[in-house]
A and B are shown apart, each in its own frame.
Chain A
Amino acid sequence: MFKGLFDFKNYHISIRWIVLLPIVIYTIIGVMALSSTSSYISFFSSTFYKQILWALIGISIFTLVQYVRIQFIYDYAYIFYILILFLLCITFLSPVIEGSQRWIILGEIYFQPSELGKIVYIIGLSRLFNDYRIKNKFSLFFIFLIFISTVPPLIIFKQPDLGTAIIYLSLILPILYWSDFDIKLILLMIFPFISMVASSSIIFYYVWMIFVLFYLFIINKPIIFKVFHFTINLLTSIITPYAWTNILENHQRNRIISFIDPFSDPMGNGYQVIQSMITIGSGGFWGKGLGEGTQTHLKFLPVRDTDFIISVVSEEMCFFTISIILLSLIWFVYWVVDFAQRIENNFTSTLLIGLCSMIFMHIIINMGMISGLLPVTGLPVPFISYGGSFFLTCSIGVGLINNIINNHI
Chain B
Amino acid sequence: MYSKKNIILSVYLFLVLVVFFRYFKLQIIDYSKYQEKAGNNSLRRIELEAPRGIIYDLSNKPIVDNKFIYDLNIIPKDFDSQSFNYDLIEKITKINKIKIDSIIKQNNTSIKKFKPVLIARNINLEKKSILEESKLDLKGLYFSKSQVRTYMMDCNLSHVLGYLRKNEDLVGFSGVEKYYQDLLKGTDGIEYHKVDRFSIDQGIFQTDGNILPLQGSDLHLTIDSKLQAFSENLMNDFVGSVIVMNPESGEILSMVSKPDYDLSSFAGEIPKKVWNKINNNSNKPFNNRSIQNHYPPGSIFKLVLSAIVLDKNLISKNRLINCNGVYDFYDTKFRCWKEDGHGKTNLNKALQQSCNIYFYNLIQMVDFELWSSEVKKFGFGDVTKIDLNGEVKGIVPDRSYMNERYKNKGGWSTGHLLNLSIGQGEIMVTPIQIANLMNIIQNEGYSFPPHLNKSYVYNKNIIDYDRKVWKIIKQSMFDAVNKDKGTAYKANLNMRGVKVYGKTGTAQICSDCDLLPHAWFAGFLEFKNKKYSIAVIIENGGKGSDLPTEMSRKIFKYLVDNNV
Residues of A in contact with B (beta carbons under 8 Å apart): 174, 177-178, 183, 275, 277-285, 294-295, 297-300, 314, 318-319, 322-323, 326, 329-330, 333-334, 337-338, 340-341, 353, 360, 364, 367-368, 371-373
Q: Which residues of A lie under 8 Å from residue B7 when comparing CB positions?
A: 177, 183
Contact A284 B37, beta carbon cutoff 8 Å: no
B3 interfacial contact with A, CB 8 Å: yes
- With A280-B26, A280-B27, A338-B5 already in contact, the answer to whether A299 and B197 are too (CB < 8 A) is yes
B34 interfacial contact with A, CB 8 Å: yes
CB closest residue in chain A, given B196: A298
Contact B41 A281, beta carbon cutoff 8 Å: no
Within the complex, what minimum Cβ distance (angstroms) separates B45 from chain A? 15
Q: Which residues of A lie under 8 Å from residue B202 when comparing CB positions?
A: 297-298
Within the complex, what minimum Cβ distance (angstroms) separates B200 from chain A? 9
Contact A300 B31, beta carbon cutoff 8 Å: no
- Distance between Cα atoms of A334 and B35 in the complex (Å): 35
Q: Which residues of A lie under 8 Å from residue B211 when comparing CB positions?
A: none
B513 interfacial contact with A, CB 8 Å: no
- Distance between Cα atoms of A300 and B199 in the complex (Å): 11
Q: Which residues of B lie under 8 Å from residue A283 when comparing CB positions?
A: 27
The answer, among B31, B197, B198, for a CB contact under 8 Å with A281, is B31
Contact B37 A281, beta carbon cutoff 8 Å: yes
B136 interfacial contact with A, CB 8 Å: no
Q: Which residues of B lie under 8 Å from residue A330 when comparing CB positions?
A: 12-13, 16
Q: Which residues of A lie under 8 Å from residue B197 when comparing CB positions?
A: 298-300
Within the complex, what minimum Cβ distance (angstroms) separates B136 from chain A? 20
Contact B41 A278, beta carbon cutoff 8 Å: yes
Contact A360 B12, beta carbon cutoff 8 Å: yes
B468 interfacial contact with A, CB 8 Å: no
Q: Which residues of A lie under 8 Å from residue B37 when comparing CB positions?
A: 278, 281-282
Q: Which residues of B lie under 8 Å from residue A177 when comparing CB positions?
A: 4, 7-8
- Distance between Cα atoms of A183 and B38 in the complex (Å): 45
CB closest residue in chain B, given A294: B42
Q: Which residues of B lie under 8 Å from residue A337 when comparing CB positions?
A: 5, 8-9
The answer, among A281, A300, A364, for a CB contact under 8 Å with B33, is A281
Contact A278 B27, beta carbon cutoff 8 Å: no
- Distance between Cα atoms of A334 and B22 in the complex (Å): 22
- Distance between Cα atoms of A318 and B37 in the complex (Å): 17
CB closest residue in chain A, given B8: A337
- Distance between Cα atoms of A280 and B31 in the complex (Å): 9
Main secondary structure of the interface of B (DSSP, over half): helix
Contact A323 B20, beta carbon cutoff 8 Å: yes
Q: Which residues of A lie under 8 Å from residue B22 when comparing CB positions?
A: 367-368, 371-373
For the complex of A and B, list the 5 residue pairs with the smallest distance between their C-beta atoms, beginning with the closest: A281-B34, A282-B38, A298-B196, A294-B42, A281-B26
CB closest residue in chain A, given B33: A281
Within the complex, what minimum Cβ distance (angstroms) separates A292 from chain B? 10
B558 interfacial contact with A, CB 8 Å: no
Q: What are 16 contact pairs spanning A and B, CB under 8 A?
A: A174-B8, A178-B4, A279-B38, A281-B27, A282-B34, A282-B35, A295-B41, A295-B42, A298-B42, A300-B41, A314-B23, A319-B27, A319-B28, A329-B16, A334-B9, A368-B18
CB closest residue in chain B, given A318: B27
B19 interfacial contact with A, CB 8 Å: yes
CB closest residue in chain B, given A299: B197
The answer, among B4, B15, B35, for a CB contact under 8 Å with A284, is B35
- With A322-B23, A326-B16, A373-B22 already in contact, the answer to whether A298 and B34 are too (CB < 8 A) is no
The answer, among B23, B38, B196, for a CB contact under 8 Å with A278, is B38
Q: Which residues of B lie under 8 Å from residue A294 when comparing CB positions?
A: 38-39, 41-43, 194, 205
B80 interfacial contact with A, CB 8 Å: no
Q: Which residues of B lie under 8 Å from residue A300 when comparing CB positions?
A: 38, 41-42, 196-197
- With A177-B8, A183-B7, A360-B12 already in contact, the answer to whether A281 and B35 are too (CB < 8 A) is yes
Q: Which residues of A lie under 8 Å from residue B28 when comparing CB positions?
A: 284-285, 319
- Distance between Cα atoms of A386 and B57 in the complex (Å): 68
Contact A364 B19, beta carbon cutoff 8 Å: yes
Within the complex, what minimum Cβ distance (angstroms) separates A197 from chain B? 17
Q: Which residues of A lie under 8 Å from residue B34 when comparing CB positions?
A: 277-278, 280-282
CB closest residue in chain B, given A302: B197
- Distance between Cα atoms of A236 and B121 in the complex (Å): 69
- Distance between Cα atoms of A177 and B7 in the complex (Å): 10
- Distance between Cα atoms of A319 and B12 in the complex (Å): 21
The answer, among A295, A333, A338, for a CB contact under 8 Å with B12, is A333
- Distance between Cα atoms of A171 and B522 in the complex (Å): 106
Contact A367 B19, beta carbon cutoff 8 Å: yes
- With A341-B5, A353-B8 already in contact, the answer to whether A298 and B23 are too (CB < 8 A) is no
- Distance between Cα atoms of A314 and B30 in the complex (Å): 14
- With A280-B23, A282-B35, A371-B23 already in contact, the answer to whether A364 and B16 are too (CB < 8 A) is yes
CB closest residue in chain A, given B30: A281
CB closest residue in chain A, given B12: A333
Q: Which residues of A lie under 8 Å from residue B205 when comparing CB positions?
A: 294
Q: Which residues of A lie under 8 Å from residue B31 when comparing CB positions?
A: 281-282, 284-285
B195 interfacial contact with A, CB 8 Å: yes
From residue 18 to 66 of chain B, which have CB atoms closer than 8 A to chain A? 18-20, 22-24, 26-28, 30-31, 33-35, 37-39, 41-43
Q: Which residues of B lie under 8 Å from residue A174 when comparing CB positions?
A: 8
- Distance between Cα atoms of A367 and B18 in the complex (Å): 10
- Distance between Cα atoms of A337 and B15 in the complex (Å): 16
Contact B18 A373, beta carbon cutoff 8 Å: yes
Q: Which residues of B lie under 8 Å from residue A340 when comparing CB positions?
A: 5
- Distance between Cα atoms of A8 and B4 in the complex (Å): 34
Contact A367 B23, beta carbon cutoff 8 Å: yes
CB closest residue in chain A, given B26: A281
Q: Which residues of B lie under 8 Å from residue A319 when comparing CB positions?
A: 23-24, 27-28
- Distance between Cα atoms of A234 and B515 in the complex (Å): 108
Q: Which residues of A lie under 8 Å from residue B35 when comparing CB positions?
A: 281-282, 284
Q: Which residues of B lie under 8 Å from residue A318 when comparing CB positions?
A: 27
CB closest residue in chain B, given A284: B31
- With A280-B34, A299-B196, A334-B9 already in contact, the answer to whether A285 and B27 are too (CB < 8 A) is yes
The answer, among B5, B19, B27, B33, for a CB contact under 8 Å with A368, is B19
- Distance between Cα atoms of A341 and B9 in the complex (Å): 12
CB closest residue in chain B, given A367: B19
- Distance between Cα atoms of A287 and B10 in the complex (Å): 30
**Mask for B263-279, Cβ within 8 A of A = 1, else 0?**
00000000000000000
Q: Which residues of B lie under 8 Å from residue A282 when comparing CB positions?
A: 31, 34-35, 37-39
- Distance between Cα atoms of A343 and B24 in the complex (Å): 37
Q: Which residues of B lie under 8 Å from residue A338 when comparing CB positions?
A: 5
Contact A333 B9, beta carbon cutoff 8 Å: yes
A sample of 20 more A-B contacts (CB under 8 A), given A177-B8, A282-B35, A295-B38, is A278-B37, A281-B31, A281-B35, A281-B37, A281-B38, A282-B31, A294-B43, A298-B196, A319-B27, A323-B20, A326-B16, A326-B20, A329-B16, A338-B5, A341-B5, A360-B12, A364-B15, A364-B16, A367-B19, A371-B22
Q: Which residues of A lie under 8 Å from residue B38 when comparing CB positions?
A: 278-279, 281-282, 294-295, 300
Contact B23 A299, beta carbon cutoff 8 Å: no
**Mask for B254-298, Cβ within 8 A of A = 1, else 0?**
000000000000000000000000000000000000000000000
Contact A314 B27, beta carbon cutoff 8 Å: yes
The answer, among A183, A279, A285, A371, for a CB contact under 8 Å with B19, is A371
CB closest residue in chain A, given B43: A294
- Distance between Cα atoms of A319 and B28 in the complex (Å): 8
Within the complex, what minimum Cβ distance (angstroms) separates A381 from chain B? 12
**Mask for B135-178, Cβ within 8 A of A = 1, else 0?**
00000000000000000000000000000000000000000000
Contact A326 B19, beta carbon cutoff 8 Å: yes
Contact B42 A341, beta carbon cutoff 8 Å: no
- Distance between Cα atoms of A255 and B347 in the complex (Å): 105
CB closest residue in chain A, given B195: A298
Q: Which residues of B lie under 8 Å from residue A364 when comparing CB positions?
A: 15-16, 19
Of listed B27, B31, B35, residue having the most chain A CB within 10 A: B27
CB closest residue in chain B, given A340: B5
CB closest residue in chain A, given B5: A341
Q: Which residues of B lie under 8 Å from residue A278 when comparing CB positions?
A: 34, 37-38, 41
